[in-house]
């Protein structure tokens, strides 16, 4: 049976509105206190240790490598086996977890070793990330930022409508959801006619993004076409690319983001496969002017994934400040990957490519504080009565994302991080 079939039910309980029904079957890297790091999947509020299932022979004939599901690099080894193996594992898990299959359901000893309440498993960054690329692919976001710092008539730079603009970021500072974020310090220039200062950023911001992990690519010197891209994309996670706007504004000319971006990015723990998101493909925007042949594509390459951002203050009050959608991307993932490799750049299993800030046309769909509060000129009112121009110490930023259609909900979960004060100098 197709793992996406909406009629499927699991023998594990799935709360109403859960991001993780049996039709999802995401992959993550977790650790139970009594076990070594291992690959996990999730159903409802339970995490399932895939190494324990493998050791019990339940993936016989599907996976190749003996220890593919154990160790801090396990998902990289798993993904190196390619999309056919990943699909086979997802299919086998769908069969094992169905309500009428007793093989795992009635094996109490194996369940005790493999199935845990989600709160008992510490989730890490899903993969060992070798390289990280951040794109700039939301037209509305690019227009908003260009309007602020230049003028609306010249908001988009001349190259923006012709290629997916991106830059290479820092992989070592990508941290799992729940990791506290230390306010960074650096140089910034408070006004054009003043000398630069050094100190904690005064304009700490989030960026609402969706990122994708890759399979192992082609050899150096070869390229991946838009038609081939799906076979090189493992799956998606939520991504908060924290930004220090004042530091960034002073440093980014001429070489782009540096200290304003590389201090931290937060990622959600689960990778949701493209196969699980297949029912939620939608058409993208008309691209005018027409793109060059290597960026042209067929079919639906955008995804209808609802996104939201909330701020929780130290007092515990939570306010949703943004509701956006992944479909707002101008440049889709197939185009991003094709552009990334068109010069022969090779990709590896576990490389991460992020969308860039995702903003819709409505003011409450802007994907950063820079836009929502319009460079600090329109402070946001939170539910506890306080106001925000940017993120303050003690604030927790929470991002959530899910796709929903015909009573089927597939979610990416959430990514969150609490801001700590800067270290003194």
Residue ranges, CATH 2.30.30.230, the chain: 28-123
Question: What residues act catalytically?
Answer: 141
Residue 166 has pLDDT above 90, yes or no: yes
Q: What letters, b where the CB count within 10 A reaches 16 and e where it falls short, cover 394-419?
A: ebbbbbbbbbbeeebbbbbbbbbbbb
User: Distance between CA 98 and CA 100 in Å, rounded?
Assistant: 6
The DSSP output letter for 178 is T
Other beta carbons within 10 Å of 360? 19
Provide, rounded to the nearest whole percent, the portion of the chain with pLDDT above 70. 100
CATH number of 132-420: 3.30.1330.10, 3.10.20.30, 3.90.850.10, 3.40.50.10710?
3.90.850.10
3-state per-residue secondary structure call for 27-38: EEEEECCCCCCE
What is the C-alpha separation between 24 and 331, in angstroms, rounded? 25
Strand, helix or coil for residue 122: strand
Residue 204's pLDDT is what?
98
When pLDDT is cut at 50, 70 and 90, the band that residue 91 belongs to is very high
Cα–chain center distance at 386: 29
Say yes or no to pLDDT of 338 above 80: yes
Return the closest-CA partner of residue 354 out of 276, 261, 240. Answer: 240
421 to each of 21, 36, 175, 291, how far by Cα in Å? 38, 33, 18, 45
Convert the pLDDT of each residue in 217-275 to its tens digit.
Answer: 999 999 999 999 999 999 999 999 999 999 999 999 999 999 999 999 999 999 999 99
Q: What's the pLDDT tens digit per position in 327-336? A: 999 999 999 9
Q: Rounded to an integer, what is the distance from CA 383 to the centroid of its chain?
A: 27
Measured between its terminal Cα atoms, the distance across the chain in Å is 61
**One-letter-per-residue 3-state SS of 193-249:** CCCCEEEECCCEECCEEEEEEECCCCCCCCCCCCCCHHHHEEEEEEEECCEEHHHHH
Asked if 113 and 153 touch (Cβ cutoff 8 Å), the reply is no
- In this prediction, residue 64 has a pLDDT band, given cuts at 50, 70 and 90, of confident
Q: Are the beta carbons of 229 and 212 closer than 8 angstroms?
A: no
Model confidence at 87, in pLDDT bands (50, 70, 90)?
very high
The pLDDT value given to residue 150? 86
Peptide linkage before 177 cis (omega within 30 of 0): no
How much is the mean pLDDT over the chain? Answer: 96
pLDDT at 2: 93
Given this model, what pLDDT does residue 1 score? 80
Give the CATH number of domain 28-123: 2.30.30.230
The stretch 136-155 carries a mean pLDDT of 93
Length of the chain: 425
Q: Where in the chain is the domain with CATH 3.90.850.10?
A: 132-420
Per-residue pLDDT at 66 exceeds 90: no
Q: What is the C-alpha to C-alpha distance for residues 59 and 49, in angstroms, rounded to an integer?
A: 12
């Amino acid at each position: 049976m197709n793992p996406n079939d909406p009629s499927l039910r699991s023998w594990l309980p799935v709360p109403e509105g859960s991001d993780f029904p049996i039709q999802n079957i995401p992959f993550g890297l977790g650790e139970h206190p009594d076990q070594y790091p291992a690959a996990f999947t999730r159903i409802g509020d339970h995490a399932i240790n895939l190494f324990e299932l493998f050791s019990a022979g339940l993936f016989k004939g599907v996976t190749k490598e003996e220890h593919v599901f154990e160790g801090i690099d396990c998902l990289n080894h798993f993904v190196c086996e390619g999309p056919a193996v990943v699909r086979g594992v997802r299919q086998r898990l769908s069969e094992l977890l169905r309500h009428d299959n007793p093989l795992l359901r009635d094996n109490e000893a194996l369940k005790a070793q493999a199935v845990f309440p989600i709160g008992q498993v510490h989730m890490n960054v899903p993969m060992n990330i070798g390289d990280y690329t951040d794109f700039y692919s939301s037209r509305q976001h690019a227009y908003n930022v260009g309007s602020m710092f230049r003028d609306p008539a010249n908001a988009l730079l001349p190259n923006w409508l012709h290629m997916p603009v991106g830059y290479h970021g820092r992989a070592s500072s990508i941290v799992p959801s729940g990791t506290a974020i230390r306010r960074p310090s650096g140089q910034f220039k408070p006004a054009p006619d003043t000398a630069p200062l050094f100190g904690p950023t005064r304009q700490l911001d989030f960026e609402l993004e969706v990122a994708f992990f890759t399979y192992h690519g082609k050899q150096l010197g070869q390229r991946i076409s838009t038609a081939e891209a799906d076979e090189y994309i493992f799956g998606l996670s939520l991504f908060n690319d924290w930004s220090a706007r004042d530091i960034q504004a002073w440093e980014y000319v001429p070489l782009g983001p540096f200290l304003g971006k590389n201090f931290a990015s937060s990622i959600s723990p689960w990778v949701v496969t493209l196969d699980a998101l297949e029912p939620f493909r939608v058409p993208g925007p008309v691209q005018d002017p027409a793109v060059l042949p290597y960026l042209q594509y067929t079919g639906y390459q955008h995804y209808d994934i609802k996104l939201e951002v909330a701020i929780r203050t130290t007092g515990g009050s939570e306010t949703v400040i943004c509701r956006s959608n992944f479909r707002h991307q101008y440049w889709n993932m197939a185009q991003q990957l094709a552009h990334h490799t068109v010069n022969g750049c090779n990709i590896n299993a576990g490389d991460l490519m992020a969308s860039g800030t995702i903003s819709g046309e409505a003011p409450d769909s802007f994907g950063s504080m820079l836009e929502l509060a319009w460079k600090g000129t329109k402070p946001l009112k939170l539910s506890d009565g306080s106001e925000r121009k940017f993120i303050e110490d003690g604030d927790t930023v929470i991002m959530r994302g899910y796709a929903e259609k015909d009573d089927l909900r597939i979610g990416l979960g959430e990514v969150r991080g609490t801001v700590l004060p800067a270290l003194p100098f």
